[in-house]
Amino acid sequence: MDPTILNALLLRLAATRRSKQTLRMRTGQSRQEYVRELLGSAHPERVLSMLRMQLDTFYALRDWLLANTDLKSDNVAYNQRIRGRGNEVLIEEKLIIFIYIVSRAASNRDTCERFSRGGKTISQ
């Protein structure tokens, strides 16, 4: 087989795999839209249902974790420079993901789908 044709087929196969991976985790909201919407919600029952705590308790927990642990947001500039992308995960999103997993016994796959994140990001 001609090497040019083989290279074209391999490139097409790689592009197809990438497009399927991208489409698999698409929800109606962007990655951090859900978190912003939830934390900005004026409905206390919704916040209590999703976070299993009141909003002021959530923020107190976040503040305590910041003061007493190594919990930090991902550095966007570092990600863009080193990895070529800027997929920042905010502290609030990390905490909401953790609460989602432990309060619902959610699988990695379910959590990936809900938060539009890759499996590696959720596992970390």
Q: Which of 60, 44, 40 is nearest to 52 (CA)?
A: 44
pLDDT at 67 over 70: yes
Domain residue limits, the chain: 3-123
% of the chain exceeding 90 in pLDDT: 30
What whole-number distance in Å separates Cα of residue 98 and Cα of residue 77?
A: 24
CA 36 to chain centre: 13
Distance between CA atoms of residues 39 and 21, nearest Å:
28
pLDDT for 20 equals 52
Q: For residue 112, count other CB atoms closer than 10 A to its CB.
A: 20
Q: Could you tell me which residues come within 8 angstroms of residue 54 by beta carbon, excluding any fewer than 6 positions away? A: 44, 47, 48
Distance of CA 96 to the CA centre of its chain: 10
Mean pLDDT of 6-31: 65
Contact (CB, 8 A) for 116 and 25:
yes
Query: pLDDT-derived band of residue 76, with 50, 70 and 90 as boundaries?
Result: very low
Q: How confident is the model at residue 17 (pLDDT cuts 50, 70, 90)?
A: low
- The proportion of the chain whose per-residue pLDDT surpasses 70, expressed as a percent, equals 76
**pLDDT grade, residue 59 (50/70/90)?**
very high
- pLDDT attached to residue 12: 80
Residue 30 clears pLDDT 60, i.e. is over it: yes
What is the C-alpha to C-alpha distance for residues 64 and 68, in angstroms, rounded to an integer? 6
